[in-house]
Structure 1
Amino acid sequence: MRSPHSNVTTETFAVNDSVELAVVERSGFVESRHAGSAIVLGTNGEVLRSLGDVTSPVFPRSAMKPFQAVAVMASGVALRGADAAIATASHIGTPEHVALVRGLLSRAGVPEAALACPAAWPIDSAARDALVRLGAGKAPVYMECSGKHAAMLVACQQNGWAIEGYLQPEHPLQKRILDVLERFTGERPLVSGVDGCGAPVHAISLTGLARGIARIATSKSNSPFAIYREAGFLAEAVRANGWVVAGPGHSDSIVIDRLGLFVKGGAEGIMVAAAENGTTVALKILDGNLRAAAAVAVGLLADAGAIKRADVDELLPELGLTVTGGGRPVGEIRASYV
């Protein structure tokens, strides 16, 4: 896709502009390496650490969901608690997740058929198996982004905006989302594209992404400014409902529940994590693999003193970082940045 500001095709940073962030070690042998870039912002937005290229554009992918949720909430949709969390979730499709999505739609009088995200099976194997036993098939409501889409539809219904075509860039809701993204990140996206769920996705730098997430994560629900009040309610909802943001056993939910961070992963190696004091990490693993992203993010926050190293060390075994051989542990995936 070409930039709206020139005829030059834009792209993310190159391998030569990245650094090693993590390695995969098997039987004492480093088998694979994950290169990427990362930035750590301090409590006042100052750059504490910069690894690789943090100024070239990246697609935030699902790490854009917090901005989309704030835009919905600032449009007059009073999402609170688990309802706010499902709006920013990449959920695994458990019955509890699906109930939240259907609840949003039902209360607003929006039919489930209005969901424009692709039909999918639940990521959760038990939920998927249950559907198979019932003879049911894939459906948009089970797709991991259905909570975001349901929230968007509620905003359209409540504001009198057209439901059909709600994912088009010129739709009033999408224009509002872009405005919120620019306001919080302080950047105008260089290029826009289509995310996996069909919604617009806008390319910004890791620096801008970290800045925007920090502003959401540190917002207060008693702010005198409406948009920051809503951001504050979202931040509270994420920290209190980690299971909603992904699901049991998944790294985003584990890190939120165990460390109290505001966390959101995104496809193609994107991860953001913010401590309550505002220290924030944004990173991209260049090969698009997320398996080491959470370990790198919490390690960088611990290095910055925002969370305790002992708490990180206790958490890491829960993140699925063990490398096995013959069914037994023979190595690990570990952060390796310097």
Structure 2
Amino acid sequence: MNYVTLVEETRAGLVENVHIGMVCGVNDRLETSYQVGNQDHYTYYRSAAKPIQAIPVFLANVITKYGLTREEAALFTASHRGETYHIDALESMLKKLPVNEDELFCPHAYPLNVKPREEMLRKNMVKRRLYHNCAGKHMGFITICREFGYPIEGYWEVDHPLQQQILKILSTLSEVPISEITIGKDGCGVPVFAIPLRNMAITYLKLACPDLIEDSVLQKAVIEMTSVMNEHPFMIASKQFICSLLLQDENIVAKGGAQGVYCFGLKNERLGFALKVLNGSEDVWPNIVASILEQIGYKNKETITRLRDLKPSIIKNDAGVEVGRVDERFNLG
């Protein structure tokens, strides 16, 4: 079977929404330990690729050279939501890095979070490239181009040397030959990569367990990058978002992407997971990840509780009255 029902939402006992998809978990022998649906389903990383796309920054020692704080460095891996602390850090980075805002290829945008977006609209503030959720990633791209002597023009094209470097890193971490990686274009205009779901899980396994990376230089960069993510989880998304919630647990490396893809690795358990919700929903990520952790007997119950609080199983209406349920319907195979 290619996919299965992951989550059902019911109202007064009637099924209202069904979220189908697939889940894969791999162990440190790169074997499939858990499988729901087709583990070979080709899936675009979308923003779950950001930690991989940020690795060249950590390979080049940019943080030390330009005097970045580790909090600022976390934004290279982030899908920031436009909160004040995000914008302040990005403004600080612009002053330190050899980057001009107009050079960013990501579009002009307003913040993703409602409160800062509405505040800017009330003040008649204009959209900026810096407010785009991928701004940190693009600042990293331009900085690396200047460090390595790559041209700035076209840094977003797949044949650009930077994108080819990222492609090679992705191939190494995922164990998928470059010739078998499908390449599209992401929302911010840069290349986006698709590989089998199982290999996405392998990628996050290696991010969580960098001793599995043979290249010692790459291994060191991954350790530095994931440490920054865990130290400053709210820079990766913001409060009340699953990425920041999971990264508060120092045992977890996690990042989601658009259209229902989510990846995470568990350090102590030496497991990597990737999942895809085929209707593109992100709303049920907390339910699915909480169920995965419960089914494998994850020891940090506080992390599971935070996930359950983020997306309760009970659906309430606007008056706070219970009207339905959200239930996971999958069993890890």
Question: Which residue does 1:49 correspond to in 2?
Answer: 34
Does residue 101 of the first structure (1) align with residue 101 of the second (2)? Answer: no
Check whether the contact 2:286–2:310 (CA below 8 A) recurs between aligned residues. no
Letter of the 2:315 partner, please give it: V
Question: Which residue does 1:118 correspond to in 2?
Answer: 107
Q: Aligned runs of 1:9-20 on 2, under 5 Å?
A: 17-20=2-5
Partner SS state of residue 17, structure 1:
coil
**C-alpha separation between the residues in 2 aligned to 1:52 and 1:224?**
33
Please, which of 239, 242, 247 is the counterpart of residue 256 of structure 1?
247
Question: Which residue does 2:287 correspond to in 1?
Answer: 295
Please, which of 164, 167, 178 is the counterpart of residue 178 of structure 1?
167
Aligned residues: 321
Question: Which residue does 1:129 correspond to in 2?
Answer: 118
Deviation at 1:260, TM superposition (A): 4.5
Does residue 212 of the first structure (1) align with residue 197 of the second (2)? Answer: no
**C-alpha separation between the residues in 2 aligned to 1:311 and 1:100?**
27
Please, which of 248, 273, 286 is the counterpart of residue 281 of structure 1?
273
**C-alpha separation between the residues in 2 aligned to 1:314 and 1:261?**
14
The Cα offsets for residues 102-149 of structure 1, whole Å up to 9 and x where unpaired, read as 333321221111111011110122222332233211111111111111
TM-score normalized by the length of structure 2:
0.89
Instruction: Give the stretch that moved more between structures: 243-252 or 98-107.
Output: 98-107
Letter of the 1:65 partner, please give it: K
Cα distance change, pair 318–274 in 1 and its aligned pair in 2 (3 A): same
Letter of the 2:135 partner, please give it: S
Unaligned stretches of 5+ residues in structure 1: 1-15
Letter of the 1:331 partner, please give it: G
Does residue 70 of the first structure (1) align with residue 55 of the second (2)? Answer: yes
TM-score normalized by the length of structure 1:
0.88
Partner SS state of residue 137, structure 1:
coil
Check whether the contact 1:56–1:205 (CA below 8 A) recurs between aligned residues. yes
The Cα offsets for residues 35-56 of structure 1, whole Å up to 9 and x where unpaired, read as 1011011244331111111112
Cα distance change, pair 37–187 in 1 and its aligned pair in 2 (3 A): same
Please, which of 292, 295, 316 is the counterpart of residue 324 of structure 1?
316
The Cα offsets for residues 281-337 of structure 1, whole Å up to 9 and x where unpaired, read as 100001111111232123213322344457524530223665232422322323221
Check whether the contact 1:88–1:147 (CA below 8 A) recurs between aligned residues. yes
**C-alpha separation between the residues in 1 aligned to 2:59 and 2:250?**
28
Question: Which residue does 1:333 correspond to in 2?
Answer: 326
Aligned-residue Cα RMSD (Å) equals 2.2
The Cα offsets for residues 48-92 of structure 1, whole Å up to 9 and x where unpaired, read as 111111112111101111110113322443477323321111110
Q: Aligned runs of 1:137-152 on 2, under 5 Å?
A: 137-152=126-141
Partner SS state of residue 101, structure 1:
helix
Deviation at 1:250, TM superposition (A): 1.3
Partner SS state of residue 23, structure 1:
strand
Check whether the contact 1:120–1:142 (CA below 8 A) recurs between aligned residues. yes
Partner SS state of residue 210, structure 2:
coil
Partner SS state of residue 203, structure 1:
strand
Please, which of 223, 235, 238 is the counterpart of residue 232 of structure 1?
223
Please, which of 191, 203, 224 is the counterpart of residue 200 of structure 1?
191
Letter of the 2:130 partner, please give it: V
Deviation at 1:179, TM superposition (A): 0.5
Letter of the 1:247 partner, please give it: S
Partner SS state of residue 22, structure 2:
strand
Unaligned stretches of 5+ residues in structure 2: none
**C-alpha separation between the residues in 2 aligned to 1:230 and 1:84?**
13
Question: Which residue does 1:36 correspond to in 2?
Answer: 21
Check whether the contact 1:161–1:172 (CA below 8 A) recurs between aligned residues. yes
Please, which of 307, 312, 315 is the counterpart of residue 304 of structure 2?
312
**C-alpha separation between the residues in 2 aligned to 1:184 and 1:133?**
45
